[in-house]
Amino acid sequence: MPKDHGIGASSKRREDVRFLTGKGRYTDDINLRGQTHAVFVRSQVAHGKIRKIDTSDAEAMPGVIKVFTAADFDGKGGVPCGWQIHDRAGNPMLEPKHPILAEGKVRYVGDAVACVVAETLAEARDAAEAVVVDIEELPAVVDMKAAVKGGALVHDDLGSNLCYDWGFIEDNKAATDEAFKTAHHVTTLELVNNRLIPNAMEPRVAIGDYSQAGDDYTLYTTSQNPHVIRLLMGAFVLSIPEHKLRVVAPDVGGGFGSKIFHYIEEAFVTHASKVVNRPVKWTCSRSESFMTDAHGRDHVTKIELALDKDGHFQAIRTETYANMGAYLSTFAPSVPTYLHGTLMAGNYKTPHIYVNVKAVFTNTVPVDAYRGAGRPEATYQLERVIDKAAREMGIDPIEIRRRNFVGKDEFPYQTPVAVQYDTGNYQATMDKLVEIADIAGFERRRAESAKKGLLRGLGVNCYIEACGIAPSNLVGQLGARAGLYESATVRVNATGGLVVMTGSHSHGQGHETAFPQVISEMIGIPENMIEVVHGDTANTPMGMGTYGSRSLAVGGSAMVKATNKIIAKAKKIAAHLMEASEGDIELKDGKFSVAGTDKSVDWGAVCLAAYVPHNYPLESLEPGLEETAFYDPSNFTYPAGAYACEVEVDPETGKVTVCSFAAADDFGNIVNPMIVSGQVHGGLAQGIGQAMLEAAAYDGNGQLLSGSYMDYAMPRADDVPFYKVDHSCQTPCTHNPLGVKGCGEAGAIGSPPAVVNAVIDALQHGGHNVTHIDMPVSPSRVWSAING
């Protein structure tokens, strides 16, 4: 019987009642008394010198309160970067200032030059059109390789467009090079990990609200991590002490990484609200979000794989150009480095690995973490080159992977790229995949497709990711400028219901459902006695927010720790009430009992005693039942899996149809299987979107060609098949109390190579000598490859 509550139950997502009935309260739903509206004047050229900004006409227009330019932010900081990388020689990365409004130069189409604050949105828009910006256009750098070969400088003061040239691990380089010299076979692949635009359903919004009465500020914003925004903006940009700054991120309609970062608009509205002494609201239009939300991916890579005659991996060497865009977004430098290089071992035993990454400034929107962040880039190149090697050497793609897996008895496994995998069983996940994908029946399906004139292909790959981010002391050594623990306060009320105040933030993940399941299991009270509060720095403990599939593994662990403290204290109270010794108290199904007796007292009675302490050990125990815990993980978690995709290619048009997709994942223990399946489904859609449809494209002048849904293809329901997902292979994480690994990014990380591998399989089997097609594998690209 499947469980109907607690850990392992598919409890229905309680937050969906509000989301599906239009009762969610998003930032744009907040309207404050006396609110004004901000509209940004944005650069229409990718690169240029600002000669003059004339705001006089705009300022004279109806309803205009003030037109801001960079001069209004004199003495304020730029938005900071949260991670510092050191290059191969040990020098710190080049780090430009990212001003709130452009100072002297514009550096991408969409760069904010000025901002109008007016009584109404329409008046602000009218006035924004009347701001005259005189820009001397400069040549733009868009192509990364050109940018490092002496193209125009994005930041003149830095003297170079190369942010850093990073080697990982530099000490591995010589041995890796040596292994290539003696290898039996070397497979080389050059590929592009296509640039993506996140497209959260809810565009970004920010409302600044300064109160003269208290000389304090509130920022309402669409954020995945309100405490991080408070810290970065307060300490580095506006010099507002944290006790004078409250950041609220209410319901947030999807983030996918793009709402982790501290954006200039947040700092703008916060500061401007003090200047105009009224609330200032900015709501991003969809067109604006295409050109201002941090983009994702955008790597150009050459990967080489050395093998012995039996297909055993000997060494991996990569060279990647990673686009940073025009400025360093909050976590941008960490994505192509520590979230990417550390995953290059994949699920395999490869003795020598060396990763080189060159991060490059270009006149494009800043690039930062996007669902998977670095790990999809690692997985894609590795799983594509393995597939290519298998085909070159005539080894079955599944077999070559099995030959190289880290064995289930070899954990903990230390990779050559710094991380240590705690648990896993890759053969078992592959066995499960072979079963659910009906690999045995593939040739029959291929023959059926052929009857319709279609080429069918099968693509398989594995993935591993490091999530549950992250041990603070470790990431500190790697350049993180923040800790990555998580926090929880568990507040029990007098009548036994409780509230968890978590530093994690839910923007679609279902925390309001899953977190109570854990506490329900621990205490034995119904889930509906437990409420989750998140998203407001005023009523949650300092936490680092949600990204990197970390909420349950890190935030959930903090909550378990706090709940354990609650239980320990409650046992003391129960012992007192039953005049027993604390060590004999057992908690089961919401009841405290004395071991070996029939004496018991209810959870509710203990809670009441804590707050109405008439019969209570006041001399040794404080009243009340509220505990806070911080949890800092000792390692990353390592979800892993094996994915299979079948496609049909229409050789006449090049159109690819994804016929089936199967995902066998090992997420360790599972709290809510339905939510986990949903997370995998969404991730797969995103990964299939990247593989088949999505591409942020710029022309040579830095104009965004895919600036709307007319040209940027998002996956729709009929672009994806009904998925087969399975998460019954479980090797629990060894170092967090729940044994969970995280499931939020897996689908997006693991699916792109399966799709492309399947397309290549279809074409090669159909007699076409095609070894690689860059994503998205659009009809025209496939047709061109066939007819190339």
Partner 1 sequence: MYNFDFVKPTSLAEAVKAMAKEDAQALGGGQTLIPTLKQRLASPAVLVSLSGIAEMKGVCVGDDGALCIGGGTTHATVAKEAAGKFPALAALAAGIGDPAVRNRGTIGGSLANNDPSACYPSAVLATGATIITNTRKIAADDFFEGLFTTALEPGEIITEVRFPVPERGAYAKFQQPASRFALTGAFVAKYGSGVRVAITGASENGVFRWTAAEKALSANFSAGALDGLSVASDSLIGDLHGTPAYRANLVKVMTRRAVAAS
d(CA 503, CA 185): 50
Find the shortest distance in angstroms from Cβ 80 to partner 1.
34
When the beta carbons of 462 and 692 are compared against partner 1, the nearer one is 692
With H, G, I as helix, E, B as strand and everything else as coil, classify residue 247.
Answer: strand
Q: How far is the CB of 658 from partner 1 (least distance, A)?
A: 13
> Cis omega before residue 412 (within 30°)?
yes
Dihedral sign computed on CA atoms, order 281, 285, 288, 293: positive
- Closest approach of Cβ 779 to partner 1, in Å? 7
Least Cα distance to 759 among 732, 737, 733, 779 occurs for: 779
Closer by beta carbon to partner 1, 442 or else 783: 783
In the complex, least distance from residue 189 CB atom to partner 1, rounded to whole angstroms: 24
CB of 716 to partner 1, least distance (A): 9
Short-list 15, 47, 26, CA closest to 152: 47
Contact between 256 and 249 under an 8 Å Cβ cutoff? The reply is: no
Least Å distance between CB 787 and partner 1?
A: 8
Cβ proximity of 630 and 501 under 8 Å = no
Both tokens of residue 135?
Answer: 């820009």
Dist CA 517 CA 456 (whole Å): 43
Q: What residues make contact with partner 1 under the rule CB under 8 A?
A: 125, 129, 287, 652-655, 692-693, 695, 697, 705-706, 709-714, 776, 778-780, 783-784, 787
Q: Which two tokens stand for residue 631?
A: 């949890």
The secondary structure element, H or E, covering residue 54 is strand 48-54
Instruction: Give the CA angle between residues 402, 303, 312 to the nearest 5°.
Output: 30
**168: Cα separation from own chain's centroid:** 22
In this structure, are residues 313 and 391 in contact, taking their beta carbons and an 8 Å threshold?
Answer: no
**Residue 554 DSSP label:** I
Q: How far is the CB of 712 from partner 1 (least distance, A)?
A: 6
Closer Cβ to partner 1, 200 or 746, answer by number: 200
- Least Å from the CB of residue 288 to partner 1: 11
For partner 1, give the closer residue by CB, 126 or 209. Answer: 126
584 or 650, CB closer to partner 1? 650
The least distance separating partner 1 from the CB of residue 759, rounded to whole angstroms, comes to 15
In the bound state with partner 1, the residue whose beta carbon lies nearer, of 311 and 702, is 702
Residue 184 or 709: the one with the smaller Cβ distance to partner 1 is 709
Crossing angle, helix 557-577 and helix 603-611, to 10 degrees? 80
By beta-carbon proximity to partner 1, the closer residue of 256 and 712 is: 712
Q: Please state the separation of Cα 493 from the chain's center in Å.
A: 34
Instruction: Kindly report each contact of residues 214-217 with a partner whose C-beta sits within 8 Å and lies 24 or more positions away, as own/partner.
Output: 214/244, 215/244, 216/243, 216/244, 216/245, 216/246, 217/244, 217/245, 217/246, 217/270, 217/273, 217/274
Nearer to partner 1, 751 or 778 (CB): 778
Give the Cα separation of 259 and 130 in Å (integer): 31
Are 352 and 316 in contact, with CB atoms under 8 Å apart?
Answer: yes
Nearer to partner 1, 239 or 784 (CB): 784
Rg (CA), the chain: 27
CA dihedral in degrees (336, 339, 340, 346; nearest 10)? Answer: -170
253 token code pair: 């309609």
Shortest separation between residue 44's beta carbon and partner 1, angstroms: 14
Taking the complex as a whole, how short is the minimal distance between the CB of residue 18 and partner 1, in angstroms?
Answer: 24
| C-alpha torsion sign, points 57, 61, 66, 69 | negative
CB of 62 vs partner 1, minimal distance in Å: 12
Residue 579 or 718: the one with the smaller Cβ distance to partner 1 is 718
> Angle at which helices 673-692 and 746-765 pack, to 10 degrees?
50
Of 286 and 408, nearer to partner 1 (C-beta) is: 286
